[in-house]
Structure 1
Amino acid sequence: MADSDPHFDTASAVTPPEALPSMAYRAYFLLLMVLVSASVQGERYLMVVMVEPIRHELGLSDAAIGMAKDMIIAIVYILAIIPLARLADGWSKRKIVAIAATVWSAAVIVCGLAKSFWILLIGRAGIGLGEGGFTPPSQAWIADLFPIRQRATALSIFLLGASLGTFLGPAVGGWAVQAYGWRETLIFASIPGFILAPIVWFTLRDSRSGLADGASAEQARPVPFLQTARELLAIRTLPPLIAAASLNALLTMGFISWAPAFMERTHGMPASQAGLQMGGALFFGSAIGHTLGGPLADYLGRRDMRWYVWILMLSGACATAIGWMILTGPGDRVFPLYGLNMLLGGLSAAPLMAVVAGLVPSRSRATAIAVLMVSIQVVGLGGGPVLVGALSDALRPVYGEDSLGMAMRWALLVGIPSTILAWFASRSCRKDFAAAGGWDRSTMPAAIH
């Protein structure tokens, strides 16, 4: 297979592949990435339980809250994530991850000190910059260290950090806001990132791009951006897959970011209590989904590679149905349904990352992940909360405090095109998998014991 694969040359076929680091080191590396991911996710999700106190203290509209909470991060992603990913493809992933953790921790302090909307916006932009610097190199780094048929499982473990942060942010944050106030809570939340950054810098070591795929050093050498763009656009599966994932993120984030406010306005639940229940539901739901999604995709993918994409398609369709039940059912069922929604969505996260990392040349891996994240940030994490907030403001004259629930119902419509796009991606994925190479077990390098 290596002889016919355009990403493998004769020299790499006859030269013994460089050995992977020991499993003990890779386990330690993965644990550290989980903790760093939990740090940034926890700091990001803190604000969902601070919507009402920040809105009242700074005198902000729902649309302004949506902008500060999420949309500014999407704007920063547009400006910075692809250049940072290009840097990660050719420089030290270890240093970029450590610097990113320092940046977002400092930005959280800025948010805690904000006296106006614009200072709050600057702080959130800094969190977006740090998160944008962390996501592409961390996922590409995992792909460099874990062979492709184990990669979705490794990414599932990595995603536990997001689950942990999703839980700790609302749960601990909701309690801390009640006890100490939102400003002090943000200052305390900056501490973990400042601790983890030097640990990453001094205890981890960089790995060559494509190491786990058996790619040669020549194949891992970065190429000009236009050539990278042409390579990515030539992969038919990527555009509809990225579009489907982005619409799924819009639906998910449009619901999650407004959940405490929805519960407070519609069901009369205090934000601190809503934050704790939401944190628990999202943590257990996403943790189970993330834990099962990668191994499930690796297992089913051995029988039909399209399962890596079908899982995304099915999760999007189910999320739409569950979203309707969340909005129309009684208050005591809302958070259990949120947990189920996150479980189903979590099943698709690791397979999605594995597909994107596995379809592209290793030299362009961080860039491809950045393109995925740009789309998810802009359409999903940024557009979802802002869309719901803007619709809520527009519907307020008619529905009053119930306008938020009505706006969230309109957001359910994006589940239809997301399911269709994922189906289109599944039609071409087997051919693209075959062209990418690296899915052959014979290309896997051995690990050092």
Structure 2
Amino acid sequence: MNQSPPVTWRTHYALFVLASIYVFNYIDRQLMAILIEPVKLEFGISDTGIGLLSGVTFAVFYTVFGFPLGRLSDRIGRKPVIAFSCIAWSLMTMLCGMAGNFLSLVLTRIGVAVGEAGGTAPSVAMVSDLYPPNRRSTALSVLMLGSSLGAIVGLGLGGWIAQHHGWRYAFLLIGAPGIFLGLLLLLTVRSPQRVTPLGVVPAQQDNWVKTLAELFRMPSFLCLVLAGGAAAIAGYAIGTWSPSFLIRSHGLNLQQAGFLVGVVGGTGATVGTLTCGILTDRMARRDAGWQIGVPLLGTLISIPFALAYFLWPQGTAFIIGGIAIPQAFLFYSVFGFFGVWWATPCLSAITHLFPATRLAQATSIFLMSMTLLGVGIGPLLVGMLSDFYVKGMGAESLRYALASSVSMLALASVFLALALPRYRQQIKNPAVLPAPVRTVTA
């Protein structure tokens, strides 16, 4: 629904900077996963307490600030919101390493959540402003590499730093680069020109309740939001607790678990993200329904591999660099490739449904669902199930708690299947034809 300026080297440079920022967005968010065990030990908290710290606390504040910052981005431009948000969450990540007690750690994590609320949705909207529709899924797949590359650095490097220097240094050292990246975006990247239909009232002048109502009138949008929320519950639960699962059920240490989940699993997710983006652009040229069909296919394939990963018994497949690779982890490698196929195409689908004056807000709703349900409920649900299963499962309680979370991927598949025909119909027969346009600064 949006036109885009010509793609030049400046376009690709802007995407590179945005993708780099998103890498550290995800590093700072995911770092807590590899630090669960030492933080538990120092502050003496339960799995449920960890779930509250890494889940609900983060998610609530991310959600509260996500939509207002999305509206601000639609009003004043994407670049300043992203840049200052990046600087803010990076400073708060560093302060996490200075926490003197559990309460102060909770407060600094809240600060990270507020900062990150202004990062992803405006970034997706800015990429949409930069690239034409037929190249958007590929461009967004590059942006969304941040989640998998962030896992590689956050879990791999974070685990190494924590193992050798303590968990506080992990927060301090990994938080610092984001300050530089925020300044780099602010000073070296040009704001793209975006196209707004003539006669359309700018989104910032509308009442926010009216804006929300208009967004949800789009038939496929609610299905996409629900699909993203369900998939995120499983995704964040698995991402948060996998290192602890490998430590408790397969005997790995902190550094080894961080390396496997971060570097090996993150590499598979990186390749999977690029693959689904390129495949979606290619297939959607033939039939718009593939924009939803690709994430549906990937999610369905990922389910049996996730279950095999959690339920496979102990056993070593082979040894690499002194690390005994569990047989179960081979299934995680495949899951990591297909388990990320839902995110990028769904975000790209939203960019095709809404004009520039609504795009950051629509994207923020999708991301708020992912965060409130995924980050908020996913880790907490698994933590509570793990504590509940202890009576019957003992030391293996986390294994079965994680296996239970895979059911949410099946629910996400149902919502994607419902969204597919609605989305195809909307793209073929849009309710409102594009109006004449005028150019404004993004």
User: TM (normalized to structure 1)?
Assistant: 0.90
- 8 Å CA contact 2:25, 2:146 repeated in 1: no
User: Partner residue of 1:54?
Assistant: 39
Distance in 2 (CA, whole Å) between partners of 1:431 and 1:334 is 42
Is residue 294 of structure 2 the alignment partner of residue 318 of structure 1? no
How do 1:226-265 and structure 2 match up within 5 A? 226-265=209-248
User: Partner residue of 2:320?
Assistant: none
Distance in 1 (CA, whole Å) between partners of 2:302 and 2:231 is 8
Distance in 2 (CA, whole Å) between partners of 1:336 and 1:201 is 42
Is residue 202 of structure 2 the alignment partner of residue 221 of structure 1? yes
- The 1:183–1:146 alpha-carbon spacing in structure 2 relative to 1, beyond 3 Å, is same
How do 1:19-58 and structure 2 match up within 5 A? 20=5, 22-58=7-43
- 8 Å CA contact 1:174, 1:272 repeated in 2: yes
SS at match of 1:37: helix
Alpha-carbon deviation of 1:315? 2.3
Is residue 138 of structure 2 the alignment partner of residue 144 of structure 1? no
Distance in 1 (CA, whole Å) between partners of 2:410 and 2:12 is 39
One-letter amino acid of the counterpart of residue 176, structure 1: I
- The 1:444–1:321 alpha-carbon spacing in structure 2 relative to 1, beyond 3 Å, is farther
SS at match of 2:69: helix
One-letter amino acid of the counterpart of residue 130, structure 1: G
- The 1:157–1:330 alpha-carbon spacing in structure 2 relative to 1, beyond 3 Å, is same
Alpha-carbon deviation of 1:444? 12
Is residue 345 of structure 2 the alignment partner of residue 360 of structure 1? no
User: Partner residue of 1:341?
Assistant: 335
- 8 Å CA contact 1:433, 1:439 repeated in 2: no
User: Partner residue of 2:345?
Assistant: 351
Alpha-carbon deviation of 1:381? 2.0
Distance in 2 (CA, whole Å) between partners of 1:79 and 1:248 is 21
Q: State the Cα deviation string for residues 146-168 of structure 1 (Å, max 9, x = none).
A: 11111111101111222211100
Q: Any gaps of 5 or more consecutive residues in structure 1? A: 1-6, 9-16
Distance in 2 (CA, whole Å) between partners of 1:207 and 1:438 is 25
Q: Which structure has the highest strand share of the two?
A: 2
Alpha-carbon deviation of 1:282? 2.4
Alpha-carbon deviation of 1:21? 5.5
Q: Which moved more, 1:159-168 or 1:169-178?
A: 159-168
User: Partner residue of 1:426?
Assistant: 420
One-letter amino acid of the counterpart of residue 108, structure 1: T
User: Partner residue of 1:299?
Assistant: 282
Alpha-carbon deviation of 1:228? 2.0
- Aligned residues with identical type, % of pairs: 28
Distance in 2 (CA, whole Å) between partners of 1:158 and 1:51 is 27
Distance in 2 (CA, whole Å) between partners of 1:318 and 1:121 is 37
Alpha-carbon deviation of 1:196? 0.9
Distance in 2 (CA, whole Å) between partners of 1:300 and 1:131 is 32
SS at match of 1:60: coil
**Structure 1 moving runs of 4+ over 3 Å:** 214-220, 434-440
User: Partner residue of 2:169?
Assistant: 184
User: Partner residue of 1:14?
Assistant: none
Distance in 1 (CA, whole Å) between partners of 2:430 and 2:379 is 36
User: Partner residue of 1:204?
Assistant: 189
- 8 Å CA contact 2:311, 2:400 repeated in 1: no
- 8 Å CA contact 1:110, 1:119 repeated in 2: no
Among 261, 264, 270, which residue is 1:281 paired with?
Answer: 264
Alpha-carbon deviation of 1:438? 11
Q: State the Cα deviation string for residues 421-447 of structure 1 (Å, max 9, x = none).
A: 11111121112223548999xx999xx
How big is the alpha-carbon RMSD for the aligned residues of Structure 1 and Structure 2? 2.4
Aligned positions, number: 426
- 8 Å CA contact 1:281, 1:335 repeated in 2: no
Alpha-carbon deviation of 1:215? 3.6
- 8 Å CA contact 1:101, 1:193 repeated in 2: yes
Q: State the Cα deviation string for residues 158-204 of structure 1 (Å, max 9, x = none).
A: 11222211100000111110111001121111111111111111112
Alpha-carbon deviation of 1:220? 7.7
User: Partner residue of 1:372?
Assistant: 366
Distance in 2 (CA, whole Å) between partners of 1:438 and 1:337 is 46
Q: Which moved more, 1:80-89 or 1:285-294?
A: 285-294
Alpha-carbon deviation of 1:340? 1.6
Alpha-carbon deviation of 1:77? 2.0
Alpha-carbon deviation of 1:378? 1.2
Distance in 2 (CA, whole Å) between partners of 1:31 and 1:437 is 35
- The 1:438–1:99 alpha-carbon spacing in structure 2 relative to 1, beyond 3 Å, is farther
Alpha-carbon deviation of 1:25? 0.3
Distance in 1 (CA, whole Å) between partners of 2:33 and 2:411 is 27
